[in-house]
Structure 1
Amino acid sequence: MTAISTLTRPTASGKQAASVEFRNVTKRYGSVTAVDDVSFTIEPGQLVTLLGPSGCGKTTTLRMIAGLEMVSAGQILIGGRDVTNLSAADRDVSMVFQSYALFPHMSVLENVAYGPSVQGASRKDAQAMAMEKLALVGLTGLEKRAPSELSGGQQQRVAVARALVLEPQVLLFDEPLSNLDAKLRRRVREDIRELQQNLNLTVAYVTHDQEEALAVSDRIIVMSNSRIAQTGTPRELYEEPADLFVADFIGDANILNGTVVELAGLRAHVQIDRLKIDLPHRGVMQGPVKLAVRPDAVLLNEGAAGPGEVSGQVKKASYLGTQIEYEVASPMGELFVVQYGRKEPIAPGTAVSISLDRQRGVAIVPGA
């Protein structure tokens, strides 16, 4: 019983949320390898994001979970059941597409009731199931409207309700917020996350937006060049990037050259120009290293540099309301810096002193 419970877990509806497992999965299109020997597990009830730039293989991976693409090699299991050779219709999964894919000639209610109707439910039962899911996504009262009469956010909710109505073991999202404006994206991603947690759904979520992935995910799988670059929690990926690609892709980072001058237990004493900083050594040896320094970990003060500081000059300042962004010239290279809570930007051309706050995000990048 213990082994089975790790593969499935009851959802709020009583149906089992399922694990998803890839075992050395490869997908080829002729001579092109879109996904190369990928292995991972999504635990029941978790939201895991596949994140990466265009062409990295994340959407192909999602489509293989759905059964819309068949694997060239390897094995896919859902809830411990081998579904590698099963069609999309024989897998208990639903997908929310980037384009929403709503039927324009059907009402909201008819769109959501379509799935149960196709599976043989009576019109009355299908509509009752649809009404329940529309209430769940906050669209009660809009049942008779056409999709064209809804906002983008409302259309996205209809697409989610239509995917939920069949109560799938696994719910898949393919760039679900890319057609929405910035403020609406934030609201809808919060809705999706709340729904996923309340219903204990297993979700695989594809995006190229790092902020979106950090906001909604239990775990993130970062893909690059058809392979997995790193898997971890949002905090692990942000604070402990496995390589330069992840460091640069997950949030903004200044990649600086430094030197490990001494190792002491799990710590490394690092010299960066005139700056000295103590960091977890992350397996590196003494000598040259690369460091990922987050923009808000670079501290600026107007005036000449003091002991243990580096001199710099503000090249550009941009006021963004809650924050001010700077480009700063320094002996360490050009720095991207973010300051929060400051009302007036430091004027371009101003001399500044530079120091680092390791608590805000400074990490040695292993193997760089």
Structure 2
Amino acid sequence: MSKAPASVEFRNVSKRYGAVTAVDDVSFGIEPGTLVTLLGPSGCGKTTTLRLIAGLEMASSGTISIGGVDVTRLSAADRDVSMVFQSYALFPHMSVLENVAYGPTVQGAPKALAREMAMEKLALVGLSGLEKRAPSELSGGQQQRVAVARALVLEPQVLLFDEPLSNLDAKLRRRVREEIRELQIKLNLTVAYVTHDQEEALAVSDRIIVMSNARIAQSGTPYELYEEPASLFVADFIGDANILDAELVEERGPRALVRLGPMELDLPRRGATAGPIKLAVRPDALRLAPADGDGAGRGVDGRVAKAAYLGKQREYTVATPVGDLFIVDSGRTPARLVDAPVRVAFSDSGIVVLPR
């Protein structure tokens, strides 16, 4: 890539459709050469935000800058960005090569140069030898790569992905997301990536912006969002979490003594004060032990309410005095049957006080 990657900056950007606010006073920055994911449930505003970067939607208020240049009022054609759509949007009557060469051709590049640029990008995404095929002759993963090559061929300052893996099966999703991440790092691209899949977001992102109801709920590194969620919504949305009622018994500077059922826990206080609080407990912070509690450490007794076998792991819901606990057991331990008495042991990490 000959062009330097660009930053993206939103300052107090809103997008309204009549009485409906799709994006509400949103501010964030994307550093050059990083992959930032907009993550959230359907209708949270993430795709509208991506389309605002692309110029496919115009902001109702606020400013959008790309590479330090105000592009708020510029059309999509006048912004140096390319988008990979969920549907791939390939031309069915054109060959793979013609699809990828289309952009440079429309921009006035000589035919030979456009083909050369297209061949180079097809090689980059591992599709050399398939230039003459029609899109219908390719697998879903290959079509996705054609769409990526077509976006890359224009050497944009910013590359946008809108739910790029949603049409692929689970195994292919993992492979293609790894390919996208490798390309982004290798070519030093600035990428804005939209998904509702939290695992995908955790796997590919330098930073994640979690959106809820047209606003930013929290932004940070994958580690920060998983280990230090700023709210109940983020804790519940990023990775599974057991949300439990507890009591902060004693403030100890930055830490606190917390009572959860029969247990007392020493945890980072995260701004909470004495009184009722909520804890987010990750499923992998819990493990099942024999009902007699032998070697279980601190924990609670309960009964298995649900059990599911998923090959690489077993998932359990255990009814306990502190609430129903969802537990992921990825060890090779014997299966627990529904209604079996068990003890749930709590580890020292993966338990977080949720700020009020």
The interval holding the TM-score normalised by the smaller chain is: over 0.9
**Residues 137-148 of structure 1 correspond to what in structure 2 (within 5 A)?**
137-148=125-136
| Map of 1:362 onto structure 2 | 351
- Cα offset for 1:317? 1.3
Query: 2:230 is aligned with what amino acid?
Result: A
| Map of 1:4 onto structure 2 | none
Instruction: Pick one of 320, 331, 346 that aligns with 1:330.
Output: 320
- Cα offset for 1:355? 2.3
Q: Are 1:216 and 2:204 an aligned pair? A: yes
Q: Are 1:61 and 2:49 an aligned pair? A: yes
Deviates more, 1:257-266 or 1:77-86: 257-266
SS of residue in 2 equivalent to 1:311: strand
**Residues 286-325 of structure 1 correspond to what in structure 2 (within 5 A)?**
286-305=274-293, 308-325=298-315
- Cα offset for 1:181? 0.3
| Map of 1:249 onto structure 2 | 237
Query: 2:335 is aligned with what amino acid?
Result: P
CA distance in structure 2 between the aligned counterparts of 1:80 and 1:347, rounded to whole angstroms: 60
Q: Which runs of 4+ in 1 moved over 6 A?
A: none
Query: 1:311 is aligned with what amino acid?
Result: D
Q: Is the 8 A contact 1:174 1:207 kept in 2?
A: yes
Instruction: Pick one of 305, 322, 343 that aligns with 1:353.
Output: 343
Q: Is the 8 A contact 1:302 1:346 kept in 2?
A: no
CA distance in structure 1 between the aligned counterparts of 2:54 and 2:119, rounded to whole angstroms: 25
1:329-362, CA deviations, whole angstroms, 9 ceiling, x for partnerless residues?
0001111111112243111111111221132x11
| Map of 2:173 onto structure 1 | 185
Query: 2:60 is aligned with what amino acid?
Result: S
Deviates more, 1:36-45 or 1:333-342: 333-342
SS of residue in 2 equivalent to 1:17: coil
Q: Is the 8 A contact 1:62 1:172 kept in 2?
A: yes
Query: 2:35 is aligned with what amino acid?
Result: L
- Cα offset for 1:221? 0.3
Tell me how large the CA RMSD over aligned residues is: 1.0
Q: Are 1:339 and 2:329 an aligned pair? A: yes
CA distance in structure 1 between the aligned counterparts of 2:182 and 2:16, rounded to whole angstroms: 36
Query: 2:177 is aligned with what amino acid?
Result: R
SS of residue in 1 equivalent to 2:316: strand
SS of residue in 2 equivalent to 1:24: strand
* Number of residue-to-residue matches in the alignment: 354
**Residues 90-129 of structure 1 correspond to what in structure 2 (within 5 A)?**
90-129=78-117
Query: 1:321 is aligned with what amino acid?
Result: G
| Map of 2:187 onto structure 1 | 199
CA distance in structure 2 between the aligned counterparts of 1:195 and 1:308, rounded to whole angstroms: 46
Query: 2:178 is aligned with what amino acid?
Result: E
| Map of 1:8 onto structure 2 | none
Q: Is the 8 A contact 1:302 1:350 kept in 2?
A: no
Output the TM-score relative to the length of structure 2.
0.98
Output the TM-score relative to the length of structure 1.
0.95
| Map of 1:5 onto structure 2 | none
What are structure 2's unaligned runs of at least 5 residues? Answer: none
- Cα offset for 1:308? 4.0
CA distance in structure 1 between the aligned counterparts of 2:285 and 2:253, rounded to whole angstroms: 24
Deviates more, 1:346-355 or 1:27-36: 346-355
Query: 1:74 is aligned with what amino acid?
Result: G
SS of residue in 1 equivalent to 2:318: strand
CA distance in structure 2 between the aligned counterparts of 1:309 and 1:183, rounded to whole angstroms: 36
| Map of 2:143 onto structure 1 | 155
Q: Is the 8 A contact 1:324 1:342 kept in 2?
A: no
CA distance in structure 2 between the aligned counterparts of 1:125 and 1:171, rounded to whole angstroms: 22
